Structures are given as structure tokens and as C-alpha cells.
Chains A and B, each alone.
Chain A
Amino acid sequence: MHKEFLMGNEAIGRACIAAGVNLVAGYPGTPSTEVLETIAKENDGSIYVEWSVNEKAALEVAAGAAYSGARTLVTMKQVGLNVASDPLMSLEYVGVKGGMVVLVADDPGPISSQTEQDTRTFAEYSKVPCFDPSDAKEAYEMIFEAFELSEKYGTPVFMRPTTRVCHSYQSIDVRDYAEYEDHRPEGFVKDSKRWVIFPKLSYANHAKIEERNDKLSAEFSYRSSPNTFIEGNTTYGVISQGISFANALDIVTKARSDKKQVPSLLKISTPFPFPDKLVSTFLNDVDEVLVIEELDPYIERHVLQLCGKNHIDVKITGKLTGHVARSGENMPDLVQKYISDFMGWELPSCEKMNTPELPVRPPVLCAGCPHRASFYAVKKAMKGKETIFAGDIGCYTLGNAMPLDMVDTCLCMGAGLGIAQGVGRVKPDTKCFAFVGDSTFFASAITGVVNAVYNQADMTLIVLDNSTTAMTGHQPHPGTGHTMMGEFTDKIDIESIFRGIGVETVVRQDPFKLDEAVEVVKKVADEPGVKAILFEAPCAVLFKPETPYEVDLDKCVDCKMCIREIGCPGVVLKDGHVAIDTALCNGCGLCSQVCPCNAIGKAVKE
């Protein structure tokens, strides 16, 4: 063992390597992405790692490997689990041979997600055992346990950290290389009674799964389980999980050192199967319990159920009683308030500050981002027309911000295509556009194109092709020409996909040639049926900036059209006049094409 300072996701990745994982597949999504990246970067070349086209594909690839006896890891964010849920629900009934850990990162807040769904609830629904770590250290140690449990009981196992666990760093003990485990899978052994799901098999296995989960509930109630009990000096109890527990522990530790009366603490790190015995024992020694958890009132419901089942007379408070907020994160201040109210402690008073007005700083498309140019071209071309601009998931969701205001809807990966079709069905005169990024296109938009062509929709599909998965940190995908194993492959060509499906009009266009781009949009949008424009320009983050632009103050009339029209962070106001922030400017030149006075041009080098 030696100490390292690791991010939660790095710790999970490193633990998987040390546990002898053979195959890792996933789809990028904040806050889960760094787990797979760590394994790809840190392993000795013996582990197969892929970014799959989406979460469903990842889970299926891993299932095949796990059938063959390999230790496997699948990574995704919580909404990715919705995509992977079809194979996973069935896989639980079939089971695995090699250990399979399904890492699903939840995002209370949400900080960068569409939903505040709770994978613990999904675990119960799918009957898949679930671990819920409270920090990087616990996550590291749990991975070994998760693989062992998975192999012992032949079931996939959830590992579900939340954002604050995924993205927090901690100095932790990690195994030396000599301590790494080595797993040699034997390969797939034919046994159709085991690997082919039929109603009869599902019926038989269902009963076994329920029995197994009862057994696991008892196992998780043992002292050696990761669930932790810390005795207080009152008959009050706090039950918690994850980062909420870490915050609660800091607050209670401080209160204890201040000689306050403190509650007993119980941390639930194995939410499913719920450790009934452990919690019942805890409930027997307290009169009142506060449950502090993020997302669903998952623990609280189980505690209430136990009280009912075992006739335990304890007052339970939490989300269901309005004592804990039902949405958002449990940050230290909130946990301090919850526990103080519960224990009757006085809250530290804080003075109101007369802070000057602070600038609002919403996230924006980067300076030089090609999406800005694409959105602006469509906006100009469609000015005055009845339109719908259906957006999608990626950096380009930020196209909704003023002044572009070019994203009317955003739902989930790949949904924009269907939404544009639906809007058009209701009001056929509407010019329907769907914007989709290249990675999202491969992940889940192709079926939408097939649907549109087959059902003869009238719409324009705009592919914002920047040749990467930008939002999550530039992962490769089928259109980039390389894999996560570092191999070069043939790029899957988006235009050919369209042509194969039967889209006749497919135009490739550089969005930074503004006038040309506007004309292309006008022409294409007027054609009937399904047509596509591929706006192709690389992500601004991946390329060295070109010569920055500058404003010729003699020509500039301060109309501020550049600022009002495109909202680039590189175009700023300086002493009341328009100026280019050369540190930010990427030299894309869009502003110079918007300027009516020809006042913006490439900076002349001194």
C-alpha cells in the first residue's frame, strides 16, 4: 500500500485495475467520465477499454464478457442508466459469471444533468445490489467488495457515487502493483438453459433473486459491512449516506468537541438490499430519527417500513415530513441547519453583508466555438419565419442563451429529432429544425432519422459536427477515427449514413463562412421532406488559437451589433467601447462578418 491524492473517479478506476478487471465499457457523462479514462490511461495494456456508442451498447458488450467469465465494469451517468435499463433489467434475471460492476454516477443538484433521479431506487426496482460510497477512500475499497459479491452471487452490482464523491480528491491508501489481482477468464461456455432468457427461466430465477437479496440484507447488517455506526450521547439518531453523511460527521464531531449533546450516527453504504437488521437495532436504541439523504427519500421509506413491520415506536423525520429539502444537494450549511433544528442547537448567527452587485456568470459557448456560427447562420436564414429549433444534449445546449436564443427545446440524448417531427405534425407550416452534435448523433439520433424518413416528415436536421465529444472532455466516438485503445479506425461517415437511410439532400458546410452558410440553410430548408446540413468545424478548445482579431476604433461606430448578435465572450466592452479580449479570442472571425462597418479585422503583429 502507498498513499496517493486521487479524485473519487480516479480511485474507482484504480481500484478496478487492482481488482483485475478485464473489460471496461461506457459512455461519457458528467460526473462519471474520469473512471473509464483513468483505467484507459493507467493500465498496463492488459485491459480492454472502449467508449461505446451509448450506454446500452456498453452494457451489452460487458454482459457478453461477463458471460465469458471476465471481470467487467460499465460506466455511465444516471440518465445513461435509462438508456442501458433494457439490457440491465433482463441481465439481472439471467445473471453473470465474471464479476460485473455497473458504475452509475448520480448528480444531486443537479449540477450538470437533466434529472435528479436516484439509482438507489432503480437498484430496488431492478433488484440489483447497490453500493453508495461517501468518499474516494470508501469507493476504492468498495470496488473489491463489489466484484467479489458479483461473482459470489452471479449478479451485476451497482456502484453509485454522487458528483461530490466522483469529483472530490482525497489522500488515500492504494495497493501497490504487486498486490493487484489477476483474473483469467475461461471464455464463453455454451449453456442455453443459462444464457437464453425465457419466461420459465425468469420465473425460476426471480424466486432465487428474492431469496438472495434477503440473504444480502442480512449480510449487509454484519459489523464488517461498510455501513458505519457512531454512538452519540443522546436518544437522538441521524441516518445518512454519501456526502450528506460526511457533512453530518464533520458537524457532529465539532459539536462533540464543543461539549454539546450529539446524536448517534448511522451511515447506509449498502442501500439495496437494505440492511434491515442493522437499522432495526439502531432504531431500538433511539427515540427520534432524522434521515438526511440526497435525491429520493429512499432510506427514509425503508426506515418507515421497518418501523411498521417490526412495531417500532420511533419518530422518523426527513424529506417526507418536510424537515429535509426534497431536491438539491445537502451542502454543509443545510446539514448544519437540519441537525441543529433536530437537536435544538443554536445556529451560528451570520451577519448580512452589503455586497455590491455581482456580475451574473452563466456558462456560455467558448470564444471561437463553431456552434455559435452554425446557430447564427440558421437564425439569420430563418428570420421572420415560423420555426422550431429543437436542441439536444451537449455543449450546444448553451445555444439557448441570449443573444443567440436558438434552442427552443431540449429533453434527452437524441430527442430533438422526434420533437421537431411532432411539432411539425401539429402545425405543418412550421419550419422544423433539429440540432444534434456528432457524438449524440451516433449515440441515439440515428433511429430518429430513420423514423423521419420512413414517416415522411418535413424537417431539416443540422449536425453540429466538431469531431469530438466536447462537453465531457473530448472523448473519441465512431466519427473521430480512433478508439479508446489508441487504435486508428475508419471514420464512420455521417453523410453516408444519411444517404443510406434515404435522405437525398445532405450538404456539408463550414459554418464560419457566414454568407455561404446562410444561403445553404435558406435553400435546404425550402426543400420538402427530410434533409440534412452538416456544419463541420473542429471544437475551438482542441486547436491553437489563430491570430486574434482587433477592433479598428476609427471605423467602429459603437453600434455594438457584434455583441448583440453573437454574444461571444471574446467581444467585450472596454471603457464603453467595443474591444476584443485577445486572451480569449480564437480568431474565428465570426464577429468581423457580423460587423456592418468592416471595423473588425485580424490583429496586425507588431
Chain B
Amino acid sequence: MSTTNIILCGVGGQGTVLASKLTAAASMSKGLSVRSAETIGMAQRGGSVLSYLRIGTCSSPLIGSGCADLIIGFEPAETVRALSYLKQGGTVITSDRAMMPVTAALQGSAYEGSKMTDYLKSLEGGLIGKLVIVNTDKALADLGSAKVMNMVLLGAAARGGFLGEVGIEDIKEALVKKVKPQFHELNFKALEYASI
């Protein structure tokens, strides 16, 4: 049985954990084994965070370079930082909204999120087999909530068939069990939002 290796990356506090837990729950309901690992502790305070998620048979929760089938990026520079994990022809689903580190403001040089997305586009067809860039500001305005970015990205991954045997219906089922009923509709809309 093959293993689906997924990297979720972003900046501390962006909520990569729920996305990873939902995928895990959805996988388990299909009888698949799951392992994951995440950053906890001092690094969470505004630092880069990276979660590993592996669906299928494996021994370690960690993923080596060039072994990830999918990168779900919550921040464009963090997506680029995680690229060494991607296997040739793998999928990248990323937010386009840049989060400025304090150091960038101190040095007086804001980094450009578009430089990162341009770089990702330049790799399409080579290292990156499939690239989905989500216009986050527009998405959150359309959906009317700043808290569902993770579902927009996860929904794109599930509907594109990039979560291995786990599909969008499995994710929805898991979501119903984990999230309070009053947030179901919003989250369902977010899952269906991104065009892939």
C-alpha cells in the first residue's frame, strides 16, 4: 500500500492543526493508518511552523526531502521554504497572502508575497506538477470570515484528489463530527470555494 505524504506549513497561529486533524480523522474512518507531527513550543510564537501528515503504512511521522506528494501552504514564503520536501511533479496548494516578520519591518524591507508566488509559477510543469494559488483576501471577503483559510486550502486538496484515498465527502463527514453545528455551513462553503 502506498503512503500519501503531506506537508502543511505556515506561521505560528495560522491554524494548520485543525486541517491536519480533520484529514487524519477522515483517513481513519476509511480504515487507513495515519501519523502526523507538528511544531509546538517556543517556535510557535510567530515562527515558521511545519506539520507532517502521512496517510498509509509507515513507521515515522516525519517526511524526508523530495518525498511529499502535497504541500499545503498557509503563507507563500513558507510554501517556498518547504519546497525541498516536494517530490518531482508533486502538488502545491498555497495562500498568496504574505505575513511580515518583525525582522522585515526592522530592516525596512517588506518582502513581496508576489515574488514567492511568481517563483512557484515558474516551477509549474517541472518540480511542481499542479499548482493552486488561492487569493486569500478575496476568499475571506467572499466567505465573510477570516478563520476558514485552512478549509479553503484543504477543500482544494480534497476536491483535486490530492489526499490519496480521502475525498471531499470524507472531509465533510469528519468536519461535522469535529466542528460545532453553527459553523458547518461556513466551513462547507470554504471547502468548496477554491477553483482547482
Contact = CB atoms under 8 A, between A and B. Distances in A.
Contacts of A245: 59
**Residue of A350, A359, A471 with most partner-chain B CB within 10 A:** A359
Contacts of B28: 3, 5, 171
A253 B59 contact: yes
Interface stretch (A186-194, A282-290, A570-578): A570-578
B102 A364 contact: yes
Contact of A471 (B21, B42, B58): B42
B106 A361 contact: no
B83 A168 contact: no
A250 interface: yes
A160 B80 CA distance: 35
B45 A355 contact: no
Contacts of A567: 102, 105-106
Interface string B97-119: 00011111110111100011001
Contact of B80 (A358, A360, A560, A569): A358
A358 B77 contact: yes
Contacts, number: 166
Interface residues of A, number: 61
B141 to A, nearest CB: 13
Given A112-B41, A359-B77, A361-B103, A250 B58 contact: yes
Nearest to A397: B42
Contact of B60 (A243, A359, A574): A243
Given A358-B80, A574-B110, A569 B102 contact: yes
B64 A332 contact: yes
B17 to A, nearest CB: 10
Contacts of A250: 58-60
B5 to A, nearest CB: 10
Contacts of B102: 364, 401, 567-569
Contacts of B127: 351, 353
Contacts of B182: none
Interface string A38-51: 00000000000000
A5 B48 contact: no
Contact of A31 (B33, B35, B41): B41
A160 B68 CA distance: 30
A270 interface: no
A374 interface: no
Interface in B36-73: 36-48, 58-67
Contact of B40 (A30, A247, A353, A363): A30
A246 B103 contact: no
A572 B110 contact: yes
Interface string A342-366: 0000001011010111111111111
B152 interface: no
Contact of B105 (A351, A366, A563): A563
A278 to B, nearest CB: 20
Contacts of A471: 41-42
B44 A363 contact: yes
Contacts of A531: none
Contact of B146 (A135, A348, A583): A583
A169 interface: yes
Contact of B103 (A359, A398, A560): A359
A403 B106 CA distance: 8
A592 B52 CA distance: 41
Contact of A332 (B40, B63, B83, B115): B63
Interface string A381-411: 0000000000000010010011100000000
A170 B53 CA distance: 10
Nearest to B48: A361
A164 interface: yes
B92 interface: no
A333 interface: yes
A356 B40 contact: no
A333 B64 contact: yes
A597 interface: no
B15 interface: no
A571 B103 CA distance: 11
Interface string A231-252: 0000000000001011101100
B62 A332 contact: yes
B129 interface: no
A171 B40 contact: no
A249 B63 CA distance: 13
Contacts of B43: 111-112, 363
A572 B105 contact: yes
B12 interface: yes
B105 A571 contact: yes
B80 A355 contact: yes
B34 A169 contact: yes
A472 B106 CA distance: 28
A553 interface: no
A460 interface: no
A319 interface: no
B44 A573 contact: no
19 contacts: A111-B39, A112-B42, A167-B40, A169-B38, A169-B61, A332-B60, A336-B64, A355-B80, A356-B115, A358-B80, A358-B81, A361-B46, A361-B48, A362-B46, A395-B45, A398-B45, A402-B106, A560-B108, A583-B146
Interface of A: 3, 5, 30-31, 111-112, 134-135, 164, 167-171, 243, 245-247, 249-250, 253, 331-333, 336, 348, 350-351, 353, 355-366, 395, 398, 401-403, 471-472, 560, 563-564, 567-569, 571-574, 576, 581, 583
